């Protein structure tokens, strides 16, 4: 089983987005040295919590300071962009860093409706919901497979050829799995957003159609994970992420809070919950010592039939995030 990193470039309270981006490059160097398989950077807009609004702005710097690890987007939110522009950008990355570039694509906006509208070039009306057509056009450029009658057929002479990126489809809902299976693409499921994806992954594998991109189905499951030497310390570190995600569900966007503030918030929430009869849904978290985290990762991979687990880690202190990835690499015997 392969282990990889999904980095959302978290911004800690009292720090800056610029520092968060530098932390991402530092973490990528560490992941490359520790033996992780790939390093993906996410796309989020207009939030004080996450710094990376443009994966392509980080992919080049990360690939240039690493030597082995695959680097890519997790992902590019395709509805914001021209398929040709995305194809050309990632073709250039592939030409510069052969056999190391992934292009994972998502349909979600990565933001609210107002910001999505502000990202549009043409604001005379809302953008159409035409993701399947965008995806087909993008794959046509990358694979030089646009039909001769297609109006853009002659535009497939991408700048990085003969190299090309490996496309992936991201998702946290049934429809994304259906599209990935129809197109013969590898599929990355966001368990950290929606932990109920076992049946979605199973359907993807059952309905997969071989393509020039993949002869057989391939699944990554992305899970929120924090590891420390002792379980109690891991739970403490996890409190910062717990607080941010709870507030996010209420529409409140904050920077990642310090542990002590987050622990007070969680205790207040617990008291309120004890006084309420309403159930409290929560995200899956794998949090604990190295042995417990290894068990949790292996269980998640088995649940999804996944070939690879992608680890999402948010902590207030950057050093704690580094240490978490170090401990996990050691627990699985990754090769430095």
pLDDT block averages, 10 residues each, the chain of length 336: 96 98 98 98 94 96 98 94 96 98 90 80 79 96 94 92 97 96 98 94 98 97 98 97 92 95 93 57 84 97 97 98 98 89
Specify the CATH number for the domain of residue 114. Answer: 3.20.20.30
Is 260 domain-assigned? no
Spatial CA neighbour of 306 closest among 8, 72, 32, 37: 37
Across the strands, what pairs with 2?
308
Backbone angles phi, psi at 335, to 5 degrees: -95, 120
Is 53 domain-assigned? yes
Is 251 domain-assigned? no
The pLDDT value given to residue 116:
79
Is 158 domain-assigned? yes
The pLDDT value given to residue 112:
78
The pLDDT value given to residue 121:
79
Is 254 domain-assigned? no
Q: How many angstroms separate the CA atoms of 227 and 237, rounded?
A: 9
The pLDDT value given to residue 128:
77
Is 138 domain-assigned? yes
The domain containing residue 210 runs over which residues? 2-231+285-331
- Whether 283 contacts 192, CB under 8 Å: yes
The pLDDT value given to residue 275:
55
Tracing tokens 């853009």 back to the chain, one arrives at 152
Is 319 domain-assigned? yes
For residue 129, give both structure tokens. 């919901």
Long-range CB contact pairs, 193-197, < 8 A, 24+ = 193/283, 195/283, 195/284, 197/172, 197/221, 197/304
Is 298 domain-assigned? yes
Spatial CA neighbour of 286 closest among 270, 267, 276, 301: 301
Q: How many angstroms separate the CA atoms of 314 and 324, rounded?
A: 10
Number of domains in the chain: 1
Q: How many angstroms separate the CA atoms of 103 and 295, rounded?
A: 30
């Amino acid at each position: 089983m392969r282990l990889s990193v999904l980095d959302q470039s978290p911004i800690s309270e009292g720090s800056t987005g610029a520092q968060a981006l530098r932390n991402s490059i530092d973490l990528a160097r560490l992941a490359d040295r520790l033996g992780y398989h790939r390093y993906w950077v996410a796309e989020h807009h207009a939030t004080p919590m996450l710094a990376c609004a443009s994966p392509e702005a980080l992919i080049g710097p990360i690939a240039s300071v690493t030597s082995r690890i695959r680097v890519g987007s997790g992902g590019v939110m395709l509805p914001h962009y021209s398929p040709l522009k995305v194809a050309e950008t990632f073709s250039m990355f592939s030409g510069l860093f052969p056999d190391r570039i992934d292009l994972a694509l998502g349909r979600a906006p990565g933001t609210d409706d107002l910001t999505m509208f502000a990202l549009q070039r043409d604001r005379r009306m809302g953008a159409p919901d035409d993701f399947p057509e965008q995806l087909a056009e993008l794959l046509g450029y990358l694979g030089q497979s646009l039909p001769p009658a297609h109006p853009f057929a002659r535009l497939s002479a991408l700048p990085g050829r003969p190299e090309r990126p490996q496309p992936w489809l991201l998702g946290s809902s049934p429809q994304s799995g259906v599209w990935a299976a129809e197109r013969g693409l590898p599929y990355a499921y966001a368990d950290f957003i929606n932990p109920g994806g076992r049946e979605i992954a199973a359907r993807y594998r059952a309905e997969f159609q071989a393509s020039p991109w993949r002869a057989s189905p391939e699944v990554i499951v992305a899970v929120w994970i924090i590891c420390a030497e002792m379980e109690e310390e891991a739970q403490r570190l996890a409190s910062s992420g717990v607080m941010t995600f709870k507030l996010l569900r209420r529409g409140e966007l904050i920077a990642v809070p310090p542990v002590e503030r987050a622990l007070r918030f969680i205790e207040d929430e617990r008291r309120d919950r004890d006084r309420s009869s309403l159930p409290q849904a929560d995200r899956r978290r794998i949090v604990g010592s190295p042995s417990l985290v290894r068990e949790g990762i292996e269980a998640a991979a088995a649940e999804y039939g996944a070939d690879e687990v992608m680890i999402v880690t948010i902590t207030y202190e950057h050093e704690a995030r580094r240490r978490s990835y170090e401990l996990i690499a050691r627990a699985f015997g990754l090769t430095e």
